[in-house]
């Protein structure tokens, strides 16, 4: 019998609950309204204790992020350092919106301990501001100027624009690539807009002309074209832990009721033996959606991705033991 807990390879850990934006592509405000975003930070010391629970797992990727802005954490660089201390070979990813006085944060210091940074930029000018209220485009450009002038060239290679493509910002992509060139960033990652609420279906609808226009950017469009439920690695090798210690099954379902709590429960026992995980794995192996997977964005977007990404540019789904 496989010890699925020891096969865990992918962790998502949130270390603070606060955010300075109300982005249209994020369902954080839904959680705020339901009382699930009370102010909270995990200290670097607490994070190290949390990570120690996974010391016997084969972790290769850690996203130190959630539905919050990490640079609002006063000791975020120390959190990143702890991750590299406990898992020195893990690929560490963070995401940030650059809507702050960057020189007064630990942004520069954090880069020493991470391997990739998603810079959340979904457009230019007014479109950018409309998609990420109350963001100011002027503030974004100020942060990018700081990056260009202050951040070492080696660290700039870690910085990627993360562009969430919806129905109203496709026309900004050429300008986004120009930003990347002007500010010496590493590249662009294009992600089709997702809906992270378990009880809601993704409403993204792209016109044929939009799909045709996207094809010239296909090498930067992220996701697995043709993805099927049987390709889902999350119930086998992935775990999402929010700032309160609540554990959820995957990164794109943030409204799921907590499965267990890292501080209160035996997570290894739950991950290996709970009825929830046993049933979910059984159904996914048969290419059937479990109850909490019926509105899965990976599945919904897979068909759209097939129409955008040519065969030679497609990436395989993540391999895992079943």
165 SS3 class: strand
Domain map of the chain by residue range? 5-313
In the sheet with 116-120, reading across from the earlier edge strand, the strands are 187-192, 159-165, 116-120, 91-96, 61-63, 10-13, 238-241, 246-248, 260-261
What are residue 57's phi and psi, to 5 degrees? -90, 160
- Distance in angstroms between the alpha carbons of the first and the last residue of the chain: 10
Per residue in 142-198, pLDDT (tens digit) is 999 999 999 999 999 999 999 999 999 999 999 999 999 999 999 999 999 999 999
Cα(181)–Cα(186) distance, integer angstroms:
9
pLDDT band at 11 (very low <50, low <70, confident <90, very high): very high
Per residue in 218-249, pLDDT (tens digit) is 999 999 999 999 999 999 999 999 999 999 99
Q: What is the CATH number of domain 5-313?
A: 3.20.20.70
Reduced 3-state DSSP string for 50-119:
HHHCCCCCCCCEEECCCCCCHHHCCCHHHHHHHHHHHCCCCEEEEEECCCCCHHHCCHHHHHHHCCEEEE
162 SS3 class: strand
- pTM equals 0.96
Question: Is the link from the previous residue into 209 a cis peptide, with omega within 30 of 0?
Answer: no
| Torsion of the alpha carbons at 205, 206, 207 and 209, rounded to the nearest 10 | 180
């Amino acid at each position: 019998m496989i010890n699925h807990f020891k096969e865990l390879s992918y962790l998502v850990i949130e270390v603070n609950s606060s955010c300075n934006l109300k982005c249209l592509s994020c369902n954080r405000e839904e959680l705020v309204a339901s009382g699930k975003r009370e102010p909270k930070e995990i200290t670097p010391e607490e994070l190290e204790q949390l990570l120690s629970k996974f010391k016997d797992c084969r972790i290769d990727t850690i996203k130190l992020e959630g539905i919050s802005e990490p640079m609002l954490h006063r000791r975020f660089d120390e959190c990143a350092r702890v991750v590299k201390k406990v898992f020195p070979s893990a690929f560490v990813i963070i995401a940030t919106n650059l809507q702050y006085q960057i020189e007064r944060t630990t942004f520069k210091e954090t880069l020493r301990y991470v391997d990739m940074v998603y810079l959340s930029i979904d457009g230019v000018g007014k479109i950018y501001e409309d998609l990420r209220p109350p963001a100011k485009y002027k503030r974004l450009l100020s942060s990018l100027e700081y990056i260009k002038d202050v951040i070492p060239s080696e660290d700039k290679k870690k910085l990627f624009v993360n562009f969430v493509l919806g129905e109203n910002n496709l026309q900004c992509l050429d300008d986004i690539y120009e930003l990347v060139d002007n500010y010496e960033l590493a590249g662009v990652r294009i992600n089709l807009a997702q809906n992270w609420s378990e009880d809601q279906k993704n409403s993204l609808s792209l016109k044929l002309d939009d799909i045709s226009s996207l094809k010239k950017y296909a090498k930067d469009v992220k996701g697995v074209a043709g993805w099927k439920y049987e390709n889902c690695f999350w119930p086998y090798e992935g775990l999402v832990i929010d700032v309160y210690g609540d554990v959820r099954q995957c990164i794109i379902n943030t409204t799921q009721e907590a499965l267990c709590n890292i501080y209160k429960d035996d997570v290894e026992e739950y991950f290996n033996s709970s009825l929830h995980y046993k049933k979910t794995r059984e159904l996914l192996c048969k290419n059937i959606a479990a109850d909490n997977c019926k509105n899965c964005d990976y599945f919904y977007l897979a068909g759209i991705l097939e129409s955008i990404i040519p065969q030679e540019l497609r990436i395989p789904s993540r391999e895992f033991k079943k």
